[in-house]
Chain A
Amino acid sequence: MILNEEQRLLRSTVADFLNREAPIEALRFLRDKEQALAWEPALWQGLCELGAPAVAQPEQAGGLGFGAMGMGALMIEAGRRLSASPLVSSAIFAQAVIRLCGNATQGDRLSPGLMSGENVATVACQEGTHFQPQPTQCRRDADQLSGRKTMVLDAGSADYLLVTARDQNGALCIGRLACDAAGVTITPHRFMDGRQYATVELIDALVDEWLQGEQIAVGFQRALDETTIMLSAEMLGGSRELLERTLAYLQEREQFDVKIGTFQALQHRIAEAYCQLELAAASVYSALSAIDADSDALSEHASRAKALTGDIYQHLSNEAVQMHGGMGVTDEMDIGLFLKRSRVCNQLWGDSAFHKDRFAALRGY
């Protein structure tokens, strides 16, 4: 990853902070709580004090001006430590949706709260068991929304929702409404990665406002692509951590009186995984620069980054378990936490199969 001086400094500051405040034990703590919590308030507060939710935005918009590359570097560090926070749901996805689907007034009014972290918002766009880019059953009727959304990140702890729906003409619209608005039922649950997701039921729920940008469908696609790329950066961080932990174990564990890392069967498997990891990494980095360059090919970049990181995260997590032997299937080892996180990430905004299909369509075949 090629970063400028400031971005490198940002990366090491964030890494230090996360090592201190959000190591993997923090995720275990969150996971083992009785109630499904989305994040530790103290961690989120610390991230906000660092300015994490404003990292990507340009300075004239009140951000820190590190660009998508800076935010990507941050997400890689978060992925290495499985840090749970509303960075993806609110700071990345909700901010992008407001910026790209709202009008200027809405942006000016809503963005500062998300950038400071004072407000947390989440986007409800997934329906059913597999991601579909267009809502099929959530409907707009005048100023009301009805439908059911699944896998809504952090909704049990957020302030407001941005809900995708179809209006009477079949066009995409996005309503903003408070999480405690009448007609909204949020059922939080914990997925196996220890984090909180929610099912959101809307029955004639009155929205506070509709996002009023001029090109909502185009803007929403772009917001999704940007978010998918940022999630891919997180997945890359997780994959790198798995590779490093497994390499360390191969150099330490002895059987038949030798380090198991001397076995060629294992060397070849890990070397091959490393090749795939670097291909995925190169795809993520170029996708991040594609955001910064406002590229026309962003969707293609997003699909490639997500499919390649999805495949390698899943593969490396399986290999890591196997190469850790019996220890790999114990909860005491962190490997299992990455294994589970990889599967959850795969389902967010399209799994590898979805993105390969979309990539082919974008390439015109």
Chain B
Amino acid sequence: MTERDLFRQEVREWLEAHCPVSQRQPIIREEQIWAGSRVAFSSEEAKAWFEAMRDRGWTAPTWPTEYGGGGLDTEQARVLEQEMIRLGCRPPLYDMGLWMLGPALLNFGSEAQKTTHIPRIVRGETRWAQGYSEPGAGSDLASLTTRAVDDGDHFIVSGTKIWTTRADVADWIFCLVRTDPDAPKRKGISFLLIDMHSAGITTRPIALISGESEFCQTFFDEVRVPKNNLVGALNQGWEVAKELLKHERKLMATMETITEKIDVGLVELAKSRLPMTDAGHLANTDLRTRMAEHLMQADALNDLNELIYGGMKTGQFDPAIPLTLKYIGTREQQRKDELMLEILGVDGLSMTSGKPDLDRMVRNWAYNKAHTIAGGTSEIQLNIIARRGLGLPE
């Protein structure tokens, strides 16, 4: 047996032993374990599963062990991921700090910032929110106007951030703020960590078309932030932000693995609800073809991900390809949602029918409309593919 096979076997046995059967069911939103001082568990087993993973550092498998991470290399992390998928294990922890801030902090953070924040992220003790967009700065993010004014050993932050995910329950927020209003747009921005419990911060939830209000608008009114919360150099925040956006896009391309996983097997759904021919085919040939088109694209997207992974190992790799993943992944997610709604017919027209599975599907259909907007709209993605990937002029 190779070393990798041995590792796989060890992982498999460990997961079998530590992942309770209840934690191998597809995750639903209400049962997700979100990090933070207000962490809540839907059951004792959910808590046990979280704690087992946390104590092995497998909430952040590839992060260094000195900061509490799992210390796995990419190959091992992949084995862990594959084995978790094989067994159907739920993600043990949900947090923007885990997905986005952590990798950027490991890259750009000071030693003090790493030792302060990384272990607490791994252990799910702080819930992080993201403070990027503003009412006047969406796709044109670099035009943001939230100000951080130098005041000795502090910054005084004033302004407002929007689409801050669950800022109302977050412990910390990572923000892009303007530190030099006279510099060209991207040159006057800094990356700042702000304690949400600071004086001068208020939040207001935003009601969404899905009937939920995951996002907030967050207001900063002369908030004092210690200068050692600056990540990277002063006015170099755009570099940190770009690195972080990469992680966000990668994440959104594989959204299915982290958003609630109701397995909407399209084929099963269609077969159980719609008329079939004697040959066992969907009688609605138009829908049947469009389903085939979506399923082919979804399979192809999996192959493309495999290819990128294999290409990174062997150096046979077109760097333009990963730029396509967010665009394709979110498009196919929405296509699947639309097909599902079409299959449900009248049953797909309510978010409050009282049938949880149905309501969830319909809410997700509406919620997922945000996927082609957040983290860089599809149109911005196409700009990036065309210019950075294909070399077309600005």
Which A residues have a C-beta under 8 Å from some C-beta of B? 1-3, 247, 250-251, 259, 261-262, 264, 267-268, 270-272, 274-275, 278-280, 282-283, 285-286, 304, 307-308, 353, 356-357, 359-361, 363-365
A-B contact pairs, 20 of them (CB 8 A): A1-B316, A247-B390, A250-B392, A261-B393, A267-B387, A271-B382, A271-B385, A278-B321, A282-B303, A283-B296, A283-B300, A283-B303, A357-B292, A360-B282, A363-B267, A363-B295, A364-B271, A365-B271, A365-B281, A365-B291
Binary interface encoding of chain B residues 382-394 relative to chain A, with 1 for a CB under 8 A from any of its CBs, else 0 = 1101110111111
Question: Given A279-B297, A279-B304, does the pair A264, B385 have CB atoms closer than 8 Å?
Answer: no
Contact A365 B280, beta carbon cutoff 8 Å: yes
Contact A274 B293, beta carbon cutoff 8 Å: no
With the chains together, A307 CA to B292 CA distance in Å? 10
| Nearest opposing residue in chain B for A250, CB measure | B392
A279 partner residues in chain B, CB cutoff 8 A: 297, 300-301, 304, 328
Contact B303 A365, beta carbon cutoff 8 Å: no
With the chains together, A49 CA to B360 CA distance in Å? 63
B379 partner residues in chain A, CB cutoff 8 A: 268
Contact A251 B393, beta carbon cutoff 8 Å: yes
Contact A274 B296, beta carbon cutoff 8 Å: no
Binary interface encoding of chain B residues 306-338 relative to chain A, with 1 for a CB under 8 A from any of its CBs, else 0 = 110011001010001100100110000000000
With the chains together, A363 CA to B270 CA distance in Å? 12
With the chains together, A262 CA to B281 CA distance in Å? 47
B289 within 8 A of A: yes
With the chains together, A251 CA to B303 CA distance in Å? 31
A278 partner residues in chain B, CB cutoff 8 A: 304, 321, 324
Contact A356 B392, beta carbon cutoff 8 Å: no
With the chains together, A271 CA to B380 CA distance in Å? 11
Contact A364 B390, beta carbon cutoff 8 Å: no
Contact A271 B281, beta carbon cutoff 8 Å: no
Contact A270 B386, beta carbon cutoff 8 Å: yes
A261 partner residues in chain B, CB cutoff 8 A: 392-393
Contact B270 A365, beta carbon cutoff 8 Å: yes
With the chains together, A280 CA to B328 CA distance in Å? 12
Interface positions of B from 278 to 299, Cβ below 8 Å from A: 279-282, 288-289, 291-293, 295-297, 299
A275 partner residues in chain B, CB cutoff 8 A: 324, 327-328, 385
Contact A304 B300, beta carbon cutoff 8 Å: yes
B296 partner residues in chain A, CB cutoff 8 A: 283, 304, 307-308, 356, 359
| Nearest opposing residue in chain A for B327, CB measure | A275
Contact A274 B292, beta carbon cutoff 8 Å: no
Contact A364 B280, beta carbon cutoff 8 Å: yes
With the chains together, A365 CA to B281 CA distance in Å? 5
A1 partner residues in chain B, CB cutoff 8 A: 316
Contact partner of A365 among B282, B293, B320, B328, CB < 8 A? B282
Contact B288 A360, beta carbon cutoff 8 Å: yes
Q: Among the interface residues A264, A275, A356, A361, which one has the most CB atoms of the partner chain B within 10 A?
A: A275
Contact B393 A262, beta carbon cutoff 8 Å: yes
- Size of the B side of the interface (Cβ < 8 Å), in residues, is 44
Contact B386 A267, beta carbon cutoff 8 Å: yes
Q: Among the interface residues B304, B379, B394, which one has the most CB atoms of the partner chain A within 10 A?
A: B304
Please give 20 more A-B residue pairs, beta carbons under 8 A apart, in addition to A274-B324, A282-B306, A282-B307: A2-B316, A247-B391, A267-B386, A267-B387, A268-B379, A270-B390, A271-B382, A274-B389, A279-B300, A285-B307, A304-B296, A307-B293, A359-B296, A360-B282, A360-B288, A360-B289, A363-B292, A364-B280, A365-B282, A365-B291
A365 partner residues in chain B, CB cutoff 8 A: 267, 270-271, 276, 280-282, 288, 291
| Nearest opposing residue in chain A for B332, CB measure | A279
| Nearest opposing residue in chain B for A244, CB measure | B390
Contact A360 B292, beta carbon cutoff 8 Å: yes
**Chain B's nearest CB lies how many Å from the CB of A7?**
11
Question: Given A2-B310, A356-B289, A360-B282, does the pair A280, B300 have CB atoms closer than 8 Å?
Answer: yes
A364 partner residues in chain B, CB cutoff 8 A: 267, 271, 280
A251 partner residues in chain B, CB cutoff 8 A: 391-393
B391 partner residues in chain A, CB cutoff 8 A: 247, 251
A268 partner residues in chain B, CB cutoff 8 A: 379, 382-383, 386
B291 partner residues in chain A, CB cutoff 8 A: 360, 365
**Chain A's nearest CB lies how many Å from the CB of B311?**
6
The 3 lowest CB-CB distance pairs between A and B, nearest first, are: A267-B386, A282-B303, A279-B300
With the chains together, A250 CA to B386 CA distance in Å? 11
With the chains together, A247 CA to B296 CA distance in Å? 27
With the chains together, A270 CA to B320 CA distance in Å? 13
With the chains together, A365 CA to B304 CA distance in Å? 25
B385 partner residues in chain A, CB cutoff 8 A: 271, 274-275
B310 partner residues in chain A, CB cutoff 8 A: 2
With the chains together, A272 CA to B386 CA distance in Å? 9
With the chains together, A123 CA to B261 CA distance in Å? 48
With the chains together, A253 CA to B304 CA distance in Å? 32
Contact partner of B281 among A259, A264, A267, A360, CB < 8 A? A360
| Nearest opposing residue in chain A for B386, CB measure | A267
**Chain A's nearest CB lies how many Å from the CB of B156?**
39
**Chain A's nearest CB lies how many Å from the CB of B25?**
24
B288 partner residues in chain A, CB cutoff 8 A: 357, 360, 365
Contact A361 B281, beta carbon cutoff 8 Å: yes
Contact A267 B307, beta carbon cutoff 8 Å: no
B321 partner residues in chain A, CB cutoff 8 A: 278
B276 partner residues in chain A, CB cutoff 8 A: 365
Q: Among the interface residues A259, A264, A283, A365, which one has the most CB atoms of the partner chain B within 10 A?
A: A365
Interface positions of B from 349 to 394, Cβ below 8 Å from A: 379, 382-383, 385-387, 389-394
A264 partner residues in chain B, CB cutoff 8 A: 383
B311 partner residues in chain A, CB cutoff 8 A: 2
**Chain A's nearest CB lies how many Å from the CB of B151?**
42
B270 partner residues in chain A, CB cutoff 8 A: 365
B314 partner residues in chain A, CB cutoff 8 A: 2
Q: Among the interface residues B295, B296, B389, which one has the most CB atoms of the partner chain A within 10 A?
A: B296
